[in-house]
Amino acid sequence: MKAAKLHGIRDIRIEEMPEPEPRPGEALVQVRAVGICGSDLHYFKEGRIGETVASEPLILGHEAAGVVEAVGEGVEDLKPGDRVAVDPALSCGKCEWCRKGHPNLCPHIRFFGTPPVDGALREYIAHPAEALFRLPQGLDYEDGAMLEPLGVALHAVDLAHLKPGQRIAVFGVGVIGLFVVQLARLSGAVQIFATDLFPFRLDLAGRFGADEVFRPDSEDPAAGIMEATGGRGVDVAFEAAWVHGTAEQAVEALAPGGTLVLIGIPLGEDVVSFRASSSRRKGLTVKMVRRMKHAYPRAIRMVERGLLDVRSPVTHRFPLDDVRRAFDMAAGYRDGVVKAMVELQN
């Protein structure tokens, strides 16, 4: 089978490798769609995410969906032909954090496309059946792949404890930020602000419910938000970009007693900074988002009911053989790309 393997910074190659066989409890999945995520781009551009380094060749990709080709011994809930979304996170289920209901914090977790675990940019994967979620008739493979970033957004919103009537700001409206905008609107937010460097993302944010948008390269988002709220600020600020200065802008835009939710992964130096005096004086709560918990069933129900638009952010599609161009385009934010999707037609 074909696979896209990262050999070094910006060095991704199509290679042949053996097709896997499902072990007991696993299903063989023919991969049909894989979204390119920001974390994939970190490995592509920098070869690392913080302390996690891709020191050996690695297959990227963790936003995936496909069709079951075969099942291993003991698998009863799935059959060949079932279309499934792939949960890329495999926690141990036994440690203290798993038992407390925090599988996303499991120190033994294995996650697709994160060293040393190969990801989904290949024609077939063998994956535990319990981490595969059947797609209802109205959802296609791309929808299934988009459930993973939606799950992260759901977890972020859960941590924020959004309430009707609140004012919300989202700093960075890539795919996860766009989902947060939609979820904030569903949660009853009365004012939603969005900031981003790219007009095409801000256009989508406006379509999804943002009342006002700001470009930080031409205006001060925090000042604009404070003016729009009569000097009060927002109740919750989601930082989903994590480029230099965005966390500090979020702190300055928050009202006293507000909550800062940090979703983004820092570019370059593994540090985030904001003024201690402002955050302390306001008595802010800071929440860190680590992937998601058991979000797939809820995400599927919401998309199936038409409550969320997961299709509009998918702006570009590429075959597996053209994966290098897909990564180059996504890494350079070229041609209005929001989500680049790799389609595998086996």
Q: Express each pLDDT in 30-62 by its tens digit.
A: 999 999 999 999 999 999 988 899 999 999 999
CA 141 to chain CA centroid, nearest Å: 16
Residue type, 7: H
For 25, which DSSP code?
Answer: T
Share of the chain above pLDDT 70, in %: 98
Give the CATH number of domain 2-134+313-343; options: 3.40.50.10860, 3.40.710.10, 3.90.180.10, 3.40.50.970: 3.90.180.10
Q: From edge to edge, which strands make up the β-sheet containing 2-8?
A: 11-16, 2-8, 58-59
For 86-102, write each residue's pLDDT tens digit.
999 999 999 999 999 99
Q: What percent of the chain has pLDDT over 90?
A: 90
Band (112; pLDDT cuts 50, 70, 90): very high
> Residue 274: what pLDDT?
82
Mean pLDDT of 76-94: 97
The arithmetic mean of pLDDT across residues 281-289, rounded, is 94
Asked if the model's pLDDT at residue 138 lies above 70, the reply is yes
DSSP 322: G
Give the model's pLDDT for residue 46: 92
Domain(s) labelled CATH 3.90.180.10 in the chain stretch across 2-134+313-343
Contact 116, 56 (CB under 8 A): yes
Band the pLDDT of 134: cuts 50, 70, 90: very high
Residue for token digits 């919750």? Answer: 236
Sign of the four-CA dihedral 163, 168, 173, 174:
negative
Average pLDDT in the chain: 95
Over residues 290-294, mean pLDDT: 90
- Tell me the pLDDT tens digit for each residue of 196-244: 999 999 999 999 999 999 999 999 999 999 999 999 999 999 999 877 7
Please check the confidence at residue 130 and state whether its pLDDT lies above 90.
yes
User: Among 10-19, 139-148, 274-283, which is the least confidently predicted range?
Assistant: 274-283
End-to-end CA distance of the chain: 9
All CATH 3.40.50.720 domain ranges in the chain, comma separated: 152-288
Domain 152-288 has CATH 3.10.129.10: no
The one-character DSSP state at 23 is P
What would the mean pLDDT of 96-118 be, rounded to a whole number? Answer: 95
Tokens of 322: 């053209």
As a whole number, mean pLDDT of residues 183-207 equals 97
Q: How much is the pLDDT for 272? A: 78
What pLDDT is recorded for position 346? 58
Tell me the mean pLDDT in the region 243-272. 87
For residue 51, the model assigns a pLDDT of 85
On the question of pLDDT at 268 being above 70, the answer is no
The pLDDT of residue 264: 80
**Residue 5: its H or E element:** strand 2-8
